Amino acid sequence: MYKIEEGQVVLLVARTNTSTDNLDTLQKLRSTLLSQVGSAGRVDFEQVDRIDVGAVRLGSAKYDIVLVSPVEPRVVEHSSRVLESILLALKPKGKLIIQELALDSGSVLQTSPVTRTKDDIVQQLKFSGFVETEVNSTELVSANELYYLAETQWKLGEPSLFVSEANGHLWTATISAMKPSYDVGAATALSFGKKTKKGQNNINSSSVNTEKKRVWMLNVESDDETEIVDQDGLLEDEDLIKPSAEALARPEGVKTRRRACKNCTCGLADGDEFDESVACEPEGSRLKKPKKPVDVVNLKSSCGNCGLGDAFRCGQCPFIGLPAFEPGEKVTLGGNMLRDDLLM
Query: What pLDDT, in 10s, does the model give residues 88-102?
Result: 999 999 999 998 888
- Backbone CA torsion sign across 149, 152, 156, 159: positive
User: 85 versus 342: which is more confidently predicted?
Assistant: 85
Q: 63: phi > 0 → left, psi -120 to 50 → alpha, else beta; which?
A: beta
The percentage of the chain sitting over the pLDDT mark of 70, rounded to a whole number, equals: 74
Query: What pLDDT, in 10s, does the model give residues 244-255?
Result: 888 888 888 777
Instruction: Please state which of the ranges 67-76, 115-124, 204-213 shows the lowest mean pLDDT.
Output: 204-213
Query: What pLDDT, in 10s, does the model give residues 215-233?
Result: 666 555 555 556 778 888 8
pLDDT of residue 344 exceeding 60: no
User: How far does Cα 4 stand from its chain's mean position?
Assistant: 48
- Backbone CA torsion sign across 11, 12, 18, 20: negative
Output the pLDDT for position 144.
85
Residue 82: partners with Cβ closer than 8 Å, 6 or more residues away: 13, 48, 51, 52, 68
Reported as a pLDDT band with limits 50, 70 and 90, residue 207 is very low
Which candidate, 47, 50, 14, 49, places its Cα nearest to that of 29?
Answer: 14
Output the pLDDT for position 20.
67
Total number of residues shown for the chain: 344
Query: What pLDDT, in 10s, does the model give residues 2-49?
Result: 788 888 999 988 887 656 677 888 888 888 888 888 888 999 998 888
The percentage of the chain sitting over the pLDDT mark of 90, rounded to a whole number, equals: 13
Side chain identity at residue 124, one-letter code: Q
Query: What pLDDT, in 10s, does the model give residues 115-148?
Result: 888 999 999 999 989 999 999 888 888 888 888 8
Reported as a pLDDT band with limits 50, 70 and 90, residue 205 is very low
Q: Edge-to-edge strands of the sheet including 170-178?
A: 42-47, 9-14, 63-68, 90-103, 170-178, 131-140
Output the pLDDT for position 333.
61
Distance, in Å, from the CA atom of 57 to the CA atom of 67, rounded to the nearest integer, reads 16
Which candidate, 46, 32, 45, places its Cα nearest to that of 3?
Answer: 32
pTM score over 0.85: no
Spell out the long-range contacts of 195-204 with Cβ–Cβ below 8 A and sequence spacing 24 or more. Answer: none
Which of the residue ranges 78-87, 156-165, 177-186, 290-299 has the most confident prediction, judged by mean pLDDT?
78-87
User: 135 versus 323: which is more confidently predicted?
Assistant: 135
Output the pLDDT for position 208.
46
